[in-house]
Amino acid sequence: MTHKVTLIPGDGIGPEVTQAVVRILEAAGVKWEWERFAAGAEAFEIHGEYIPAELYASIERNKVALKGPVTTPIGGGFKSINVTLRKKFELYANFRPIKNLPGLETRYPGVDLIIVRENTEGEYVGLEHEVVPGVVESLKIVTEKGSTRIAQFAFDYARKHGRKKIHSIHKANIMKLSDGLFLKCARKVSEGFPEIQYGEHLIDNTCMQLVMNPYQYDTLLLENLYGDIVSDLCAAFVGGLGLVPGANIGVDCAIFEAVHGSAPDIAGKDVANPTALLQSSILMLRHLDESDAADQVQKALETVYTEKKTLTRDVGGTAGTSQFADAILAAMAQ
């Protein structure tokens, strides 16, 4: 079987890490047909659109995409490509597993967390306007439908993969209606999963508790903004955003992406670490029911980190992007 996948290399270091990952995936015994597209500023220069119509059509047709980092302007410019794609295809579940790589020393060894973030609502709906000069209003949208389906996703995943606990993270002591609705829906869904321990923590307390003792948590269920912040915080436990995978999952479509930035300062220098996108591609392989290939790539990645001979500079090595990919390929061939 040949898997048709929409490929969005992105900008900055995106094309380099994407090229490395594609090399590895093509050596994993899986047949691929890549439909490659630019997005963001590069796409605008070529097509006059930040997300070309052909890119939308490709994702709609293939149902799966692999995406490198795309620069998002701060305080102006075009809207986030990530957020736009998530809303367009109703990729309501942002899924980020946080787990240490073997051989890589961190302050928190043995972390194993699952972050499940609602991906289409909350503050990220982008409903903002200026009421009067100097006064801006931003609306937070929470719905029963959106809250229920993300809770269902979290509990379904926990049951399937043997996770023991889920905590809903909220600020319902202040936002009693919006966060209150989120909790109400999560509680209702939890009733169908008696084997899974359910709890609730305030978002500010959760950040403190995570830093003090991340091992007390298993799976975290969060609204959009809280999930964005907490998932980055948790990435620090295992070495940073350059190492952790990300997936955006909808009813019939999924986009797998590196969650780090485009790092234009090191673009084109063959020094970027492709681990985050590679780990995201492993999630993609599992999504496509290519579990043998996923296991092969995962084992090779862990071998390279355990041996510590060919790591990139951000994790204490001296290897470049292509050298790191070569090491993964060599480990796969053993």
**Which domains are seen in the chain, by residue range?**
1-99+239-334 (3.40.718.10), 107-112+121-238 (3.40.718.10)
CA distances from 151 to 89, 213, 222, 254, 306 (A): 19, 24, 9, 18, 36
CA atoms within 13 A on the CB side of 208: 5
β-pairing verdict for 64-67 and 93-99: unpaired
Question: Is 77 a residue whose pLDDT tops 80?
Answer: no
Token pair in block for residue 75: 């305080």
Beta bridge partners of 200: 168
pLDDT digits (tens, 9 = 90+) for 150-196: 999 999 999 999 999 999 999 999 999 999 999 999 999 999 999 99
Higher pLDDT, residue 284 or 70? 284
Stretch 9-14: mean pLDDT? 92
Question: Residue 94 and residue 86: Cα distance in Å, rounded?
Answer: 9
Task: Report residue 99's pLDDT band, with 50, 70 and 90 as the boundaries.
Answer: very high
CA atoms within 13 A on the CB side of 204: 4
Angle at 27 between CA 26 and CA 32, to 5 degrees: 25
pLDDT digits (tens, 9 = 90+) for 251-310: 999 999 998 988 999 999 999 999 999 999 999 999 999 999 999 999 999 999 999 999
Question: Is 78 a residue whose pLDDT tops 80?
Answer: no
Higher pLDDT, residue 109 or 80? 109
pTM: 0.93
CA distances from 53 to 37, 47, 125, 249, 268 (A): 10, 9, 22, 21, 28
Burial of 304 per CB tally in 10 Å (0-12, 13-18, 19+): buried
